[in-house]
């Protein structure tokens, strides 16, 4: 039997040494490179190249329609002495800090609420998402009307109730304007925070809460010792994104106030646009944009270290 089985084998093709090409074809890294190529091309073309160009332009005196000459750090020196630029930095920080903090608080509250068993849960979850799916410009326009100096529904309602006699000049007053744009940003940003945190909450096993209940935890203690620690990784991700989005916000402000009144709501992004595109001084606008980079890097660094896998997430899974 052995002889019969062996005989046809001898007739087989001789075994060929693998060539370099064969090895390359079987190499998983080579395959991986090809899979990465489209994404890399996209990132280089639409992110790295514009970023590099922006940095280059900030060192020139380019204006619209005229290629610039290299002028070193003159644009930055100029900005250093520009009080409007510093005002926009202050505005951006104020806007980001307050809006992000409130978005986190409301988002977490909503997420906890929507995680409870209650009637119409699915419908409420869908409702929460509405601000997120309305195009930003449309919601900004709606807010623009809501806060209009003459036709504001808020002023009208308050007047009907007899609480005020004069219209409130929402977008014409420095403090009110800041409150209004922050409010609009919060309204728009809460769903993202709420839904993401809700997704995080749903990964927490219910039996942990039952175990904690039997261990004697009150509902506050369950939040403090179980929910919150288990949610920290996702909170870090969500808040990083939220801060980045808020810091670079442009649409809402531009549609509602264009940076006014007297630059009180100018963020760095809107100021950059105003100087570069409206004013035509591309170099200066680019410099303002680039001034955001250190802040954004700082935010990313914070989350990078915040996101380092915690000790309890590490280790072998021996199941």
Partner 1 sequence: MSSVQIRDVRKSFGNFEVLHGVSIPIEDGEFVVLVGPSGCGKSTLLRMLAGLENITSGTISIGDRVVNNVQPKERDIAMVFQNYALYPHMTVADNMGFSLKLRGARADEISNGVKRAAEILALTPLLDRYPRQLSGGQRQRVAMGRAIVRDPQVFLFDEPLSNLDAKLRVAMRTEIKELHQRLRTTTVYVTHDQIEAMTMADKIVVMHDGVVEQMGTPLELYDTPANQFVAGFIGSPAMNFLKGKVKSNGSAGFEGPNGVKLPLASAPANSDGQPAVYGVRPEHFTIADDGAEAEIVVVEPTGSETQVFAKLGGEQVVAVFRERHQFNPGDKIRLKPDPTLVHLFDETTGKRLNA
Cβ proximity to partner 1, 149 vs 221, nearer residue: 221
Stretch that binds partner 1, among 30-38, 96-104, 224-232, 257-265 (CB under 8 A): 224-232
Counting residues that bind partner 1 (by CB under 8 A) gives: 26
Residue 203 binds partner 1 (CB under 8 A)? no
Residue 313 DSSP label: G
Smallest separation, CB 203 to partner 1 (Å): 11
Q: Are 114 and 194 in contact (CB under 8 A)?
A: yes
116 binds partner 1 (CB under 8 A): no
Rounded CA separation 248/254 (Å): 12
Angstrom distance (rounded) from CA 68 to CA 75: 12
Q: Which is nearer to partner 1, 71 or 204 (CB)?
A: 204
**Of 25-33, 112-120, 167-175, 225-233, which part binds partner 1 (CB under 8 A)?**
225-233
Rule CB under 8 A: which of 61-90 touch partner 1?
Answer: none
The pair of three-digit structure tokens given for residue 166, joined into one six-digit string: 């004069």
What binding mask, one character per residue, do residues 258-297 give for partner 1 by CB under 8 A, x or -?
----------------------------------------
- Return the C-alpha torsion angle 270, 273, 276, 282, nearest 10: 100
Among 36, 126, 208, 277, binds partner 1 (CB under 8 A): 208
Contact pick of 27, 149, 202, 221 for partner 1 (by CB under 8 A): 221
Nearer to partner 1, 157 or 219 (CB): 219
Number of residues written out for the chain? 319
Alpha carbons 294 and 89: distance in angstroms, whole number: 12
Residues 108 and 93: their CA atoms lie apart, in Å, by: 22
Q: Which of 214, 220, 294, 305 contacts partner 1 by CB under 8 A?
A: 214
d(CA 132, CA 198): 15
Task: Decide if residue 17 touches partner 1 (CB under 8 A).
Answer: no
Q: Which of 101, 229, 277, 293 binds partner 1 (CB under 8 A)?
A: 229
Decide: is 310 part of the binding site for partner 1 (CB under 8 A). yes
Among 105, 174, 211, 301, binds partner 1 (CB under 8 A): 211
Q: Which residue has the tokens 């809700």?
A: 198
Nearer to partner 1, 19 or 313 (CB): 313
Residue in 62, 201, 226, 234 binding partner 1, rule: CB under 8 A: 226
- The DSSP symbol for 12 reads S
Min separation Cβ 237 and partner 1, Å: 17
Q: In 3D, which of 291, 225, 251 has the Cα closest to residue 88?
A: 291
270-301 burial string, b = 16+ CB within 10 Å, else e?
A: bbbbbbbeeeebbbbbbbbbbbbeebeeebee
Is 312 a binder of partner 1 (CB under 8 A)? yes
Least Å from the CB of residue 204 to partner 1: 9
Q: Which two tokens stand for residue 20?
A: 């370099």
Alpha-carbon gap, residue 85 to 253, rounded angstroms: 16
Q: Report the greatest alpha carbon distance in the chain.
A: 109
Q: Which positions lie near partner 1, rule CB under 8 A?
A: 205, 207-208, 210-217, 221, 225-226, 229-230, 310-319
């Amino acid at each position: 039997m052995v002889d019969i089985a062996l005989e046809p084998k001898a007739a087989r093709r001789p075994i060929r040494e693998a060539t370099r090409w064969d090895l390359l074809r079987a190499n998983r890294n080579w395959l991986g490179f090809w899979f990465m190529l489209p994404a890399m091309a996209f990132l280089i073309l639409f992110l790295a190249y514009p970023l590099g160009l922006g940095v280059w332009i900030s060192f020139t005196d380019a204006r619209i329609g005229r290629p610039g000459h290299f002028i070193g750090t003159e644009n930055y020196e100029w900005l250093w002495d520009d009080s409007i630029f510093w005002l926009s930095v202050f505005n951006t920080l104020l806007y980001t800090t307050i809006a992000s903090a409130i978005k986190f608080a409301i988002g977490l509250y909503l997420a906890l609420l929507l995680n409870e068993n209650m009637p119409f849960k699915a419908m409420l979850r869908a409702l929460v998402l509405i601000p997120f799916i309305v195009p930003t410009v449309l919601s900004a326009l709606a807010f623009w009307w809501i806060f209009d100096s003459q036709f504001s529904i808020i002023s009208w309602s308050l007047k009907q109730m007899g609480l005020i006699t004069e219209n409130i000049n929402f977008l014409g007053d420095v403090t009110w304007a800041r409150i209004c744009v922050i409010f609009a940003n919060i309204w728009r940003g809460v769903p993202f925070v709420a839904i993401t945190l809700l997704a995080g909450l749903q990964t927490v096993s219910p039996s942990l809460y039952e175990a904690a209940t039997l261990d004697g935890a009150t509902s506050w203690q369950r939040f403090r010792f179980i929910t919150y620690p288990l949610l920290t990784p996702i909170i870090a991700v969500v808040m990083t994104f939220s801060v980045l989005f808020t810091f670079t916000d442009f649409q809402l402000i531009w549609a509602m106030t264009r940076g006014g009144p007297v630059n009180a709501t100018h963020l760095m992004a809107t100021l950059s646009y105003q100087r570069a595109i409206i004013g035509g001084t591309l170099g200066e606008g680019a410099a303002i944009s680039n001034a955001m980079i250190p802040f954004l890097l700082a935010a990313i660094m914070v989350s990078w270290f915040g996101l380092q896998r915690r000790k309890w997430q590490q280790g072998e899974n021996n199941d």
